Amino acid sequence: MADSQDLTRRGLMFILSSPSGAGKTTIARKLLAVEDELSMSVSVTTRPQREGEVEGRDYFFKTPDEYAALVAEDAFLEWAEVFGNSYGTPRAEIMDGLALGQDFLFDVDWQGAQQLSQRARADVVSVFLLPPSMEELEHRLRSRGTDDEAVIQGRMARASDEISHWDAYDYVVINRDLEECFDKVRTILHAERLKRERQRGLIDFARELMR
């Protein structure tokens, strides 16, 4: 007899986007630390491995030829050229994981979010984080203390462009306070896991209840 304990669910693709400095990386780290069923999607890249990066954890590092072969066999859910290097999201890892109830976190820009939504709409949940104001965004970028003036100005210009795509997302959260923002993003994840279409076995379970 079906039991609600036995119900498995299909995983989801949780996309977090924001302009640089709006808190995306911090929120992503906090989510990964507390959500066992959520893991970061690991991309393939042709960019050289940086010191401290681990193969399979940060990226799968490939030569341009290996990468081209993967594109040819349609192995990517989405891909992009960024700063002269190629990046792609491996389709098989994600699809196998989703079927097992694994959720994946994607830290991608609006173009990545758009491609993923087009290719896997039913599995995608997209969240856009907005800064409370452009002054606050600039303040946060400066207080990192890692970038020089030209880089900060470049990031501010790109932030404006990124923000213009806010209305393509399923959810928008304004990051006024980190903890409050984190709670809201986590609530979205928890609610989306309960979506009827993601709960496999519900039809049989409900039939059993109605017998």
Instruction: Identify the residue among 21, 23, 112, 131 touching ligand 5GP (CB under 6 A).
Output: 112
Is 77 a binding residue for ligand 5GP by CB under 6 A? The answer is no
Specify the stretch interacting with ligand 5GP by CB under 6 A; choose among 22-30, 76-84, 97-105, 180-188.
Answer: 76-84
Distance from chain centroid for Cα 128: 10
Alpha-carbon distance 119 to 157, whole Å? 29
**Helices 178-193, 24-34: crossing angle, 10 deg rounding:** 50
Q: Do residues 7 and 205 make contact, with C-beta atoms less than 8 angstroms apart?
A: yes
State whether the Cα torsion 130-152-15-100 is positive or negative: negative
Cβ proximity to ligand 5GP, 83 vs 211, nearer residue:
83
Tell me the Ramachandran region of residue 154: left when phi exceeds 0, alpha when psi lies from -120 to 50, beta otherwise: alpha
Specify the stretch interacting with ligand 5GP by CB under 6 A; choose among 5-13, 80-88, 91-99, 140-148.
Answer: 80-88
Instruction: Identify the residue among 80, 152, 163, 174 touching ligand 5GP (CB under 6 A).
Output: 80
Instruction: Identify the residue among 89, 117, 126, 175 touching ligand 5GP (CB under 6 A).
Output: 89
Instruction: Identify the residue among 12, 108, 124, 159 touching ligand 5GP (CB under 6 A).
Output: 108
Type of residue at 33: A
Cβ proximity to ligand 5GP, 82 vs 206, nearer residue:
82
Spatial CA neighbour of 158 closest among 89, 121, 109: 109
Is 87 a binding residue for ligand 5GP by CB under 6 A? The answer is yes
Is 151 a binding residue for ligand 5GP by CB under 6 A? The answer is no
Instruction: Identify the residue among 32, 82, 95, 99 touching ligand 5GP (CB under 6 A).
Output: 82
Cα angle, residue 201 at apex, residues 198 and 202 outer, rounded to 5°: 75
Which neighbouring-strand residues pair with 79?
A: 88
Alpha-carbon distance 123 to 78, whole Å? 14
The site for ligand 5GP, by CB under 6 A, has a size of: 11
Is 21 a binding residue for ligand 5GP by CB under 6 A? The answer is no
Positions touching ligand 5GP (CB under 6 A) are 43, 47, 78, 80, 82, 87-89, 107-108, 112
